[in-house]
């Protein structure tokens, strides 16, 4: 049974975009995924996003994605919303991934803007609508033009918000003015997809975070959220400022790389990366430790 959701926060409020653990030989580590998922939920996440960019989705097979969803659901599916990425730059493939996710038992879908092919806004509307029409699951859009090459424009978000199963947007656009207009007009639940903007996005109406740094600072992000929603804005700002070195350090290079390194330093399941991603150099690992320590995280 899925955890209780609300229209205001349909997928929970603090979600980790979870890495996909691999074994030493590069195979999918389902036992490690279950242990990591349990750790993250115990730390305060009420949702997990699997098979996203941070889950190395470009290098995992459709079958691996399905197996991962089933394993994590078995471990924590009664305690956290399990959302799985189905976004590709091939609408038919995304529709098939959505149907497989529904059969696997996922609670929701994350659909990123089609990347590289740079479709026009009408193409984005039809793409996301096709995914939402394919299953009975709620959909979170993922707007990240820095990677996809194309923003989901405000008018498109408003149109997509009319679909009964498109209920949220993960915002990594980095444009607070556009976010303000879009969340006020679309009716979509707004999630920060850019850790540095977690607090600023809360201030204009976001309901929560889909975070990478939450692999190591979930309690702090939960405290920030609780302080803000409880009316203690000064405390929320204090936590935000304390976490600035963590935000910076975790994104000096690709976030999957640093997240897996930090998890490994804590003795948590992570494993190697699949090419084209590569491990941190010794110098980069030392810098990550310094950045995290400056933010109060000692590995």
> What are the Cα distances from residue 211, in Å, to 86, 92, 208, 243?
18, 28, 9, 13
DSSP-assigned letter for residue 77: T
Whole-angstrom Cα distance, residue 30 to residue 37?
10
CA atoms within 13 A on the CB side of 166: 26
Task: Give the closest residue to 167 by CA, choosing from 181, 193, 187.
Answer: 187
Catalytic residue among 70, 115, 116, 142: 142
The two three-digit tokens of residue 251, written as one number: 């994104």
Q: Is-contact 180 170, C-beta < 8 A?
A: no
Task: Give the closest residue to 42 by CA, choosing from 81, 77, 6, 76.
Answer: 76
170 catalytic? Reply is: yes
The three-class DSSP label of residue 31 is: helix
70 catalytic? Reply is: no
Whole-angstrom Cα distance, residue 95 to residue 133?
9
Catalytic residue among 170, 191, 228, 260: 170
Residues catalogued as catalytic: 142, 170
């Amino acid at each position: 049974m899925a955890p209780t959701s609300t229209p205001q926060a349909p997928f929970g409020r603090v979600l980790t975009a979870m890495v996909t653990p691999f074994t030493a030989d590069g195979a999918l580590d389902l036992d490690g995924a279950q242990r990591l998922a349990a750790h993250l939920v115990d730390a305060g996440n009420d949702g997990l996003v699997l098979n996203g960019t941070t889950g190395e989705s470009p290098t995992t097979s459709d079958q691996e994605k399905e197996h991962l969803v089933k394993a994590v659901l078995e471990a924590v599916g009664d305690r956290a919303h399990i959302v799985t990425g189905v976004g590709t730059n091939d609408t038919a493939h995304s529709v098939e991934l959505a149907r497989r996710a529904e059969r696997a038992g996922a609670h929701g879908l994350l659909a990123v803007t089609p990347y590289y092919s740079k479709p026009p806004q009408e193409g984005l509307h039809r793409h996301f609508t096709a995914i939402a029409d394919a299953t009975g699951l709620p959909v979170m859009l993922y707007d990240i033009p820095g990677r996809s090459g194309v923003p989901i424009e405000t008018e498109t978000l408003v149109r997509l918000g009319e679909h009964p199963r498109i209920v949220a947007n993960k915002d990594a656009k980095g444009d607070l003015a556009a976010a303000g207009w879009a969340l006020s007009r679309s009716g979509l639940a707004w999630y920060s997809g850019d850790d540095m903007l977690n607090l600023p996005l809360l201030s204009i109406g976001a309901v929560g975070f889909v975070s990478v740094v939450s692999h190591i600072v979930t309690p702090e992000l939960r405290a920030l959220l609780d302080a803000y929603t409880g009316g203690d804005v000064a405390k929320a700002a204090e936590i935000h400022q304390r976490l600035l070195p963590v935000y910076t350090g975790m994104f000096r290079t690709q976030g999957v790389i640093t997240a897996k390194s930090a998890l490994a330093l804590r003795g948590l399941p992570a494993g190697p990366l699949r090419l084209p991603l590569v491990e941190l150099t010794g110098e980069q690992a030392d810098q990550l430790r310094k950045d995290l320590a400056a933010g109060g995280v000692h590995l």
